[in-house]
Amino acid sequence: MKFRMNDNEWEIKEISNAEMNDMFGENGYTDGVTNYTHHMIYINNDILDKKRTLYHELMHCFLYEYGHNQNADKSFSYDDVCEVSACSHDMIHEIVEEYFKEVEFEDFSRKYSCKSNAEICRDMQREVLEEETKKKKNKKSA
């Protein structure tokens, strides 16, 4: 997915851990990488918590785009952290939500791509009924 931050275009791409190791010379396990030169955010598609990782990498992107020093020697006060968080929250949250909507849609499209409209409707109704049944069972057992 492509997005804009500070009027620069960036792209989010999921890749395997092996690809990440090949691209960035890592010899371990990396959840995500922000590449400032190419305006790319890479998320390891082998991890479970992609959303948290994307938030993390987008914060690197935000700090870079808005001129905050990411030097390891620089320390930030609590107030600095609060200000950066307050300024970036809405923008980053919107990008994450949009990204996962697209991912969810792609998963949905793959799941139903070879079915007729009637089959899709039946499957969706079945899924809704199954979910409602689970909720009722959970309420009864609670």
61-89, pLDDT tens digit by residue? 998 998 776 766 777 788 888 888 898 98
Burial class (CB in 10 A: 0-12, 13-18, 19+), 20: buried
Q: Mean pLDDT of all residues in the chain?
A: 82
Q: What angle do CA 22, 92, 65 make, to 5 degrees?
A: 70
Range of the domain at 112: 2-141
Greater confidence (116 vs 47) lies with 47
Q: Alpha carbon of 105 to those of 63, 89, 96: distances in Å?
A: 30, 24, 14
Give all strands (DSSP E) within 36-112, no chain letters. Answer: 40-44
Q: Alpha carbon of 23 to those of 19, 27, 127, 132: distances in Å?
A: 6, 11, 40, 45
Contact between residue 98 and residue 1 where contact means Cβ atoms under 8 Å apart: yes
Tokens of 79: 């107030």
Contact between residue 59 and residue 66 where contact means Cβ atoms under 8 Å apart: no
Amino acid identity of residue 62, one-letter, is F
In this structure, the strands spanning 8-15 and 40-44 are parallel
pLDDT of residue 5: 92
30-46 confidence digits (pLDDT tens): 899 999 999 999 999 98
Total number of domains in the chain: 1
CA 28/CA 18 separation, integer angstroms: 9
